[in-house]
């Protein structure tokens, strides 16, 4: 079992992130897994398990072990970021004099372009759910909303009735770090949500919530999980024969790329996506450039 001092410090850190930094449940879950995974690795190797005794060498060895275990570079970077935040807290808490994770450098990230659906492929996907039953109406409303607003799947399942403003064509979205933003709702999405809501059945508990009740529910009338949305999408991907790489996030990628393809300003797209950094949004300009090159090569008589 990990050293009691280290374990108690991690517990205080997680409580601090939840109550004072207002971190999301998913962020807290990631911190917990990263930090207790690190303590388990330290204990297994017989290393020190107090915050004061841990050094940059110990953390470099941990990073090397992650690389040897073939963890993705993004995962390693996240774990190192968790350790940096934790030791920064430990210094403030008076149980560490230095931050041994600070000198570590993240592995260089490979620039991987996101998978994006074409306009025709998006169209095929959006009409795949049947419109004659409640489940099909719900699925169509989910897909339309995700593509219309560029939502993360966690943001979609977190939508509440009170977040929707059909008159203005907007919805309030709770993004990463519980930050809120306003996203557009297109006419097709509004129509699909209304058609679903007219036949939707919710549990008694959900109905008691009023405007705080979830927009999208499962067959038992309770809030959907992100995993349920993923399974739903997989079904329609198989039915339509679309690329198996397609995931709920693909609709968000497609939303951003299609906006840029049609001349949208990149900073507007950044705001619509809820990206903190413009650098995160800029990857979609590379996707758009790739698409434009493909169109050019197909259309211009002297392109090749």
Q: Which of 275, 296, 298, 302 is catalytic?
A: 275
Active-site annotation holder among 58, 138, 200, 252? 252
Alpha-carbon span 135 to 129, nearest angstrom? 8
In the residue annotation, 253 being an active-site residue is answered as: no
Give residues with Cβ within 8 angstroms of 73, minimum separation 6: 106, 107, 108, 109, 110
Examine the residue annotation and report whether 249 is marked as an active-site residue of this protein.
yes
Burial 214-253 (b: 16+ CB within 10 A, else e): bbbbeeebebbeeebbeebbeebbeeeebeeebbbebbbb
The partner residues of 174 in beta bridges, in order of sequence, read: 180
Residue of 31, 147, 196, 284 marked active site: 284
Residue position matching structure tokens 């306009």: 119
152 is catalytic: yes
Rounded CA gap, 76 and 58, in Å?
A: 15
Which of 102, 176, 181, 188 is catalytic? The answer is 176
φ, ψ (nearest 5 deg) of residue 173: -125, 135
Q: Which of 12, 60, 73, 249 is catalytic?
A: 249
Note if 102 is an active site residue. no
Catalytic pick among 79, 140, 152, 200 = 152
> What positions carry a catalytic annotation?
152, 176, 249, 252, 275, 284
């Amino acid at each position: 079992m990990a050293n009691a001092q280290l374990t108690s410090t991690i517990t205080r850190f997680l409580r601090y992130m939840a109550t004072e930094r207002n971190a999301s449940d998913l962020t807290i879950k990631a911190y917990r897994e990263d930090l207790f995974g690190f303590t388990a690795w330290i204990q297994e190797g017989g290393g020190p398990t107090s915050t004061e005794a841990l050094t940059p060498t110990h953390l470099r060895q941990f990073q090397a072990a992650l690389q040897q275990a073939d963890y993705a570079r993004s995962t390693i970077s996240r774990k190192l970021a968790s350790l940096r935040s934790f030791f920064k807290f430990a210094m403030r808490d008076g149980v560490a004099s230095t931050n041994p994770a600070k000198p570590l450098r993240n592995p260089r990230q490979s620039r991987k372009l996101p998978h994006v659906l074409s306009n025709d492929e998006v169209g095929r996907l959006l009409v795949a759910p049947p419109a004659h039953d409640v489940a099909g109406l719900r699925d169509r409303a989910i897909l339309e909303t995700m593509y219309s607003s560029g939502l993360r799947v966690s943001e979609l399942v977190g939508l509440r009735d009170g977040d929707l403003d059909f008159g203005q064509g907007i919805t309030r979205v709770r993004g990463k770090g519980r930050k809120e933003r306003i996203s557009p709702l297109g006419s097709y999405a509004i129509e699909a949500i209304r058609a679903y809501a007219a036949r939707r059945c919710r549990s008694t508990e959900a109905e008691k919530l009023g405007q705080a009740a979830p927009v999208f529910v499962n067959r038992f009338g309770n809030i959907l999980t992100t995993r349920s949305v993923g399974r739903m999408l997989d079904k329609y991907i198989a039915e339509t024969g679309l690329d198996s790489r397609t995931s709920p996030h693909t609709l968000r990628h497609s939303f951003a790329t299609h906006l840029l393809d049609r001349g949208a300003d990149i900073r507007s797209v950044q705001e619509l996506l809820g990206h903190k950094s413009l650098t995160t949004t800029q990857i979609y300009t590379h996707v758009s450039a790739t698409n434009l090159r493909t169109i050019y090569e197909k259309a211009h008589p002297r392109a090749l």
